[in-house]
């Protein structure tokens, strides 16, 4: 389904495998305001890359551009070597299937009128239109199993589920599209503390078993420590530091990164600084590092919510096919 656009040589790593995501010199602006200003990074197949930074630094703008929902003012976004920023129409829709997003608020992301069975069946129909109804029912059941939900949930609607269960359904919907990259925008921050660790464990398992790559966006350095191989630290639209997770957390190069870590309250920070195994001591499968919601949030200067849309180069609605519109079916 990937459009037949030639790969350019620089999309390949030394291994000859194209990066799942390559972002280069990216600029995304709302009017005059450059919310993303010259960002570049790569995510290898199966890699989990976290973008951290304070509120308003441009994380969600970056995510929406990677999803093909916003057009960059300059720079490149390539998925498996194919330029997303240049794609249009059917090519763009096909590329967008390869990237799926899991939103912060699972209730808002699911149509309250649909049963779990329909919610998972819907993207499956788009991804595999040739499947028979019986094969789809089997696939829906398998997807739910893979996110830890039994068949008895099939007939339930979102209001009959807990937040964690809703997030599992949202993850199953994303997986139904068979993506190579999952964008996780604060995937656990709206959940009860008690279920955050379970959802993090699920995300860690899914990556391992499916070879998925993640672009993780989070304020919570505990979540990042648990899920990310590498971290990019973003400030005011720019990446100020990038490196392996342990290195960035233990030997931050930028003053700004040090400030983010220093802003994490004591207990959370102590857990954050534990060795690579330190978080796994909780035998119940609790997340590594500080328990999410345990105060490891890196947001020294939270700002008010962003202003309403004002002229960012949004992709026309006609370009936005249902496959990735997990959040828009309410």
Ligand X SMILES: Nc1ncnc2c1ncn2[C@@H]1O[C@H](COP(=O)(O)OP(=O)(O)OP(=O)(O)O)[C@@H](O)[C@H]1O
Of 234 and 249, the one with the shorter C-beta distance to ligand X is 234
61 scored as a contact of ligand X (CB under 6 A): yes
Residue-wise burial string across 191-218, b where 16 or more C-beta atoms lie within 10 A, e elsewhere: beeebbbbbbbbbbebbeeeebbbbbbb
Question: What is the spatial distance between Cα 110 and Cα 114, in angstroms, rounded to a whole number?
Answer: 8
Least distance between ligand X and beta carbon 264 (Å): 15
150 scored as a contact of ligand X (CB under 6 A): no
Is residue 43 helix, strand or coil? strand
Name the residue with tokens 């390539």: 78
Q: Segment contacting ligand X (CB under 6 A): 51-59, 89-97, 262-270, 282-290?
A: 51-59
Is residue 232 helix, strand or coil? strand
Residue 312 interacts with, from ligand X, Mg ion, none (CB under 5-8 Å by kind)? ligand X
11 scored as a contact of Mg ion (CB under 5 A): no
Of these, 50, 57, 180, 215, which contacts ligand X (CB under 6 A)?
A: 57
Of 55 and 128, the one with the shorter C-beta distance to Mg ion is 55
Site string for Mg ion, 39-68 (x = CB under 5 A): --------------------xx--------
Of these, 58, 158, 288, 290, which contacts ligand X (CB under 6 A)?
A: 58
179 scored as a contact of ligand X (CB under 6 A): no
Instruction: Please give the structure tokens belonging to residue 56.
Output: 């308003």
Of these, 133, 309, 316, 318, which contacts ligand X (CB under 6 A)?
A: 309
Instruction: Please give the structure tokens belonging to residue 20.
Output: 């799942």
Residue 309 interacts with, from Mg ion, ligand X, none (CB under 5-8 Å by kind)? ligand X
Question: What is the spatial distance between Cα 216 and Cα 220, in angstroms, rounded to a whole number?
Answer: 11
Residue 326 interacts with, from ligand X, Mg ion, none (CB under 5-8 Å by kind)? none
DSSP for 165-221, written as a single string: HHHHHHHHHHHHT--SEEEEESTTTTS-HHHHHHHHHHHHHHHHHH--EEEEE-SBH
Instruction: Please give the structure tokens belonging to residue 163.
Output: 């937040």
56 scored as a contact of ligand X (CB under 6 A): yes
- Contacting positions for ligand X (CB under 6 A): 30, 33, 35, 55-61, 306-307, 309-310, 312
């Amino acid at each position: 389904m990937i459009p037949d656009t030639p790969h350019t040589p620089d999309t390949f790593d030394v291994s000859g495998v194209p990066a799942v995501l390559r972002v280069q010199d990216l600029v995304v602006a709302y009017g005059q305001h450059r919310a993303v200003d010259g960002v570049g990074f790569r995510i290898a197949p199966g890699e989990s890359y976290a973008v951290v930074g304070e509120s308003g630094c441009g994380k969600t703008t970056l995510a929406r551009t990677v999803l093909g929902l916003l057009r960059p003012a300059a720079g490149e976004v390539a998925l498996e070597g194919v330029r997303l920023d240049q794609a249009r129409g059917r090519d763009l829709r096909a590329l967008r299937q390869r990237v799926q997003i899991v939103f912060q608020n699972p209730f808002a992301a699911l149509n309250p009128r649909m049963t779990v069975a329909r919610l998972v069946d819907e993207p499956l129909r788009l991804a595999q239109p040739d499947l028979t109804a019986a094969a789809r029912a089997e696939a829906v059941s398998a997807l739910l199993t893979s996110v830890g939900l039994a068949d008895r949930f099939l007939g339930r609607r979102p209001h009959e589920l807990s937040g964690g269960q809703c997030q599992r359904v949202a993850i199953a919907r994303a997986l139904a599209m068979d993506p190579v990259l999952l964008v996780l925008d604060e995937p656990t921050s709206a959940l009860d503390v008690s279920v955050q660790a379970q959802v993090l464990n699920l995300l860690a398992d899914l990556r391992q078993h499916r070879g998925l790559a993640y672009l993780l966006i989070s304020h919570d350095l505990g979540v990042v420590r648990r899920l990310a191989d590498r971290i990019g630290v973003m400030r005011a639209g720019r990446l100020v530091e990038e490196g392996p997770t342990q290195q960035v957390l233990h030997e931050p190069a930028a003053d700004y990164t040090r400030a983010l870590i220093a802003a994490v309250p004591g207990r959370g920070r102590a857990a954050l600084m534990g060795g690579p195994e330190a978080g796994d001591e909780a035998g119940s499968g609790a997340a590594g590092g500080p328990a999410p919601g345990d105060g490891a949030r890196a947001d020294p200067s939270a700002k008010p919510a962003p202003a309403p849309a004002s002229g960012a180069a949004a992709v026309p609605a006609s370009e936005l096919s249902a496959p990735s519109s997990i959040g828009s079916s309410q």
